[in-house]
Chain A
Amino acid sequence: MNLLTIIIKNMRQRALATTLTTVSVALAVALTVAIVHIKRGMEDRFQQSTVGYEMVVGAKGSPLQLVLNTVFNLDISPGNIPWSVVEKLRTDKRVKAAVPFSVGDNYHGFRIIGTTDEFGEAFGYRLAAGRWFNFSKDALRDAFFEANERAHERIAKEHGVEPAGPAVHYHAASEAVIGATVARETGLRMGQTFIAAHGLEAAPDAEQHTDNPWTVVGILAATGTAADRGLYINLDSFYHIEGHEVRDSTKAGATQTGPRKAEEKDTDPDPGQVSAVALKLKSPVYALGLYREINDGADAMAAFPAVEVRKLFSIVGNIDLILLAQAILIGIVAGVAIAVSIYNSMSERRREIAILRALGARRGMIFAIVVLEAMSICFIGAVLGIMVGHVIVAGANTVLHRVSGFTVEPLSFQSVELLIIAGCIVLGALSGIGPAARAYRTEVAEHLAPMT
């Protein structure tokens, strides 16, 4: 009978205690694995998405909300900023790229983001298929003008005045480049069209913008960032959607009821609004100066995505630490339970140990059997726990998808899992020392006496 056979036999003899202690270890490991995977998955996604977005500028409010909305396609937009802010940033000699974004609609829960064709080049997004949409500043001016005209029509009707003439309507191509996840999950292919639903989240009764279908002209290569989950449309087409008026109705002249002259679109100093602008700077040394200049102004607020993400990590990190501490405590309790259960079984096993000794087994061998038995329980528990942990991650994906828009790959294996297994084996060895010492001291003659 070799060492392994003896250990298996011992574990079978105490099947209930072995099962319960293995399950305790498995639970601790499963909890740890799930926390580690979800935390790292979230951190990776947030870190990858942050790369390239050096500064974002949007409406005054919460910088974290602005960053979540602009960079991660999460949360709602804090409001709009005037187009003049975008123009000013685009001509600032410290700014390398200023890419505007407008949000407000979704397709099957994936955000539709109006932007310019600079988006891909500025942030390093490559196309897996097709081309970028066509964008021109003239088309955007036309779109702003048309949206303003619609606003005038609406305001005129609200004041009981029939508009003096039809609004000017421009027809720009509505094209879209979609993220890799959007293509995979919605089945949208090159050349197909889609219709936007109003709002940032999918809702069964959401208003559908049936007048403005977009044609897919490009699909982004997968990046592991929030861009995978976006549908990027030419910014001008965003303002052709009914309801996307860009003129603040409280502004002077907003109640003007007659149609404006088409030439006005080229001279309007503040023709429209966007949700946010993402910036790349020519040098980071200008970051704090520009940040202060923007924040001192009345129109907009600047935020650093990397800073906001770190703040978010520091909040979430504390919750993770509490959960990890709980998992470690469960592990320690499981270790104590293993020690107690094996120690208690020693009384029943003394005769067996004495027989083994009589058959030539050394004390060291007996010590090793007990320690290895505890280590085996922990090892089996750890392997089982890792499998359960991955199942938990797969199950948590539905909630993660809904709450954060991200999912974690449940089948990915992290090197830390090897450390967890090693840690469990160490825990098993430490738990086995007490009972092993008791087994070591078992006297052969005393326990070989005939049982009465």
Chain B
Amino acid sequence: MKKDKYKLTRLVLCVLVVVLSPLTVYTSSDGGQKEDRPIVLSFEVLKKWPYVEGKTQIPDFIRALDGKIVEMTGYMMALNTVDNIRSFILVPFLFGCCYGQPPAVNHVVLVKMAGRKTAMYFDDVVRVRGRFHCSEERYEGVLLSLYRVDADEVVAK
């Protein structure tokens, strides 16, 4: 009788393991590759200087970050995609307040997802990690951006 009970328990467990095992696929993690420790870069630093197109140069304390892995927080704003976002702008705030100045060119970071990666959209503050670049990127004479990040990771903060 005790043996039967043991066998029944084993059978029930077998059924549970077989039917519930697919769920474990979603909880597995590859652990991720360890990279250089990122530099935490805030908008306060990026905004520390007044940019006047054609008159001011990107200061040395920002140029020193060019090519470094950085971690930034801010709000994402993708203009023409709703999901599976390939590029977006990272801004210190969105348009909740109608007063004050809108973000200037040196208050905005153009984020492009590295390789074939895409990002989900988040309403709240996001953390972006990737390689930072700074220079006056132009196309047909028009300034396109000052700050760019090739992002490996975009997650909700």
Contacts and interface: CB of A to CB of B under 8 A. Distances in A.
Contacts of B22: 422
B122 to A, nearest CB: 10
A437 B146 CA distance: 69
Contacts of A55: 79
Interface stretch (B29-37, B40-48, B54-62, B98-106): B98-106
B103 A306 contact: no
Interface in A422-437: 422, 425-426, 429-430, 432-433, 436-437
Interface string A83-98: 0000000000110000
A363 B4 contact: yes
B19 A430 contact: yes
B20 A426 contact: yes
Contacts of B4: 363, 440-441
B81 A429 contact: no
Q: Which of B80, B81, B87 has the most A CB atoms < 10 Å from its CB? A: B80
Contacts of A307: 77
B108 to A, nearest CB: 5
Contacts of A47: 81-83
B143 interface: yes
Given A292-B102, A363-B4, A287 B15 contact: no
Interface residues of B, number: 38
Contacts of A285: 89, 105, 108, 110, 144-146
Given A54-B80, A441-B8, A283 B144 contact: yes
**How extensive is the interface on chain A, given as a class?**
35 or more
Nearest to A280: B80
A284 B19 contact: no
Contact of B79 (A306, A363, A440, A441): A306
Contacts of B18: 429
Given A284-B89, A285-B110, A304 B20 contact: no
A309 B15 CA distance: 44
A425 B79 contact: no
Contact of B144 (A282, A314, A429): A282
The interface residues of chain A, by DSSP majority, are classed as: helix
A284 B7 CA distance: 65
Interface string B85-107: 00111010001001000111100
A52 B108 contact: no
A395 interface: no
B105 to A, nearest CB: 5
A158 B59 CA distance: 67
A93 B80 CA distance: 20
B95 A288 contact: yes
Interface of B: 4, 7-8, 11-12, 15-16, 18-20, 22, 77-83, 87-89, 91, 95, 98, 102-105, 108, 110, 121, 123, 139, 142-146
Interface of A: 43, 46-47, 50-55, 93-94, 281-289, 291-293, 295-296, 304-307, 309-310, 313-314, 363-364, 367, 371, 422, 425-426, 429-430, 432-433, 436-437, 440-441
- 7 residue pairs, one from A and one from B, having the closest CB atoms: A292-B102, A283-B144, A54-B79, A426-B19, A429-B19, A47-B82, A285-B108
Given A283-B110, A432-B15, 5 more contacts: A47-B83, A282-B139, A306-B81, A363-B4, A363-B7
17 contacts: A43-B82, A50-B82, A54-B79, A282-B142, A284-B89, A284-B110, A285-B89, A285-B110, A287-B77, A291-B95, A292-B102, A306-B80, A310-B123, A429-B19, A430-B15, A437-B8, A440-B11
